[in-house]
Amino acid sequence: MSQPILLRDVVAALDARYRPSLAEEWDAVGLVCGDPAAAISRIHFAVDATLVTVEEAIASGSQLLITHHPLLFDPVQSVAATSTKGLIIHRLISNGVALFSAHTNADRANPGVSDALAQALCLLDVELLEPMADEQGIGLGRIGRLGSPMRLADFLEHVSSALPVGVAGIKATGDPDKMVQRIAVCGGAGSSALPAVISAEVDAYVTSDLSHHRVGEFVDDVGRDGPVLIDASHFGTEWPWLKQAAELLLMDLAGFGTTVETTVSTLSTDPWSIHEPKRSV
């Protein structure tokens, strides 16, 4: 008879895929709550642990919620249900749901967050954008190429239909008629990889959370023929990872001989909820 899969088995599989040592020093990855000896038969995936996605995990009958963003970054003195984060912890524990996060370790892992983004955009021949110095095949961001060159305007339409970009839509620099084929991507906030984007000689860079100053300086530096920047939503560029992570985890747990089911959140946790169309200054 097959043994149930325990939370500690799932955590071991996740830690092997998304090595905690790959995470940034400031990050807070791994198990947030949950009993390693608890049996796991259903796992829910979401970008963020919010009251909404936690209720979704509970309703799905999951015993584990896996998120990209950590719930707790800063040291806490209390998880009383008087704060939102405390309430989230209470809802999880009182419903027997563990919480695990793979954040910057999932950004750098291969396959990781940016591989899922590259795949969602149908990029071919995907390679690393910013390799880690001492780790073979691991690093931030990816570069790939479109099957054939596209007008930037058509590529933006492609990005916006491939990703859940939400009400904010996508913004881009440059000329809509520019032809693009070699594309860099980085799921989430990708401004740290802007120097690598210049060295990579790509036609466009898809990421999120680029600031006014960084974009202005970049455009001045690279000029008309340099890479265009495409700012999609933070949530939208990371969401494709959920499906990829669910599939990889199912593969990793297949050896246990017990079936685990996974569900992926379809609720947007993008905090932006309104977009006012363009007006002149």
Any residues with CB less than 8 A from the CB of 105 and at least 6 apart, and which? 18, 19, 20, 21, 22, 23, 27, 29
Residue count of the chain: 281
| 139 sits near Zn ion (criterion: CB under 5 A) | no
Taking the CB of residue 185, how many other CB atoms lie within 10 A of it?
A: 32
Stretch that binds Zn ion, among 34-42, 49-57, 125-133, 181-189 (CB under 5 A): 181-189
Any residues with CB less than 8 A from the CB of 215 and at least 6 apart, and which? 173, 229, 231
CA distances to 8, 70, 95, 97 from 33, in Å: 12, 12, 12, 8
Q: Please state, in angstroms and rounded to a whole number, the distance separating the CA atoms of residues 107 and 68.
A: 9
Q: Which of 112, 166, 188, 236 binds Zn ion (CB under 5 A)?
A: 188
Q: Which one-letter DSSP state was computed for residue 109?
A: S
| Footprint of Zn ion on 257-276 (CB under 5 A) | none
* Least spacing, CB of residue 107 vs Zn ion, in Å: 8
Choice between 34 and 187, CB closer to Zn ion: 187
Show the tokens assigned to 144. Answer: 């790939």
* Least spacing, CB of residue 281 vs Zn ion, in Å: 31
Stretch that binds Zn ion, among 72-80, 83-91, 184-192, 220-228 (CB under 5 A): 184-192
* Least spacing, CB of residue 266 vs Zn ion, in Å: 18
- Residue 236 phi, psi dihedral angles, 5° rounding: -65, -35
Choice between 171 and 221, CB closer to Zn ion: 171
Stretch that binds Zn ion, among 3-11, 165-173, 182-190, 209-217 (CB under 5 A): 182-190
* Least spacing, CB of residue 68 vs Zn ion, in Å: 6
Nearest-10 crossing angle of helices 7-17, 240-253: 120
Choice between 178 and 234, CB closer to Zn ion: 234
Q: Please state, in angstroms and rounded to a whole number, the distance separating the CA atoms of residues 219 and 269.
A: 30
Is the CB of residue 178 less than 8 Å from the CB of residue 237? no
Contact characters 94-133, Zn ion, x per CB under 5 A: ----------------------------------------
Which residue has the CB atom at the shortest distance from Zn ion?
A: 188
Choice between 47 and 253, CB closer to Zn ion: 47
* Least spacing, CB of residue 6 vs Zn ion, in Å: 29
* Least spacing, CB of residue 148 vs Zn ion, in Å: 31
Tokens 């027997």 sit at which residue? Answer: 96
Residues in the interface with Zn ion (CB under 5 A) total 1
- Classify the C-alpha dihedral 58-62-63-68 as positive or negative: negative
Q: Please state, in angstroms and rounded to a whole number, the distance separating the CA atoms of residues 165 and 236.
A: 5
Choice between 118 and 150, CB closer to Zn ion: 118
Stretch that binds Zn ion, among 137-145, 155-163, 183-191, 248-256 (CB under 5 A): 183-191
Choice between 5 and 18, CB closer to Zn ion: 18
Tokens 């305007």 sit at which residue? Answer: 153
Task: Give the binding site for Zn ion (CB under 5 A).
Answer: 188
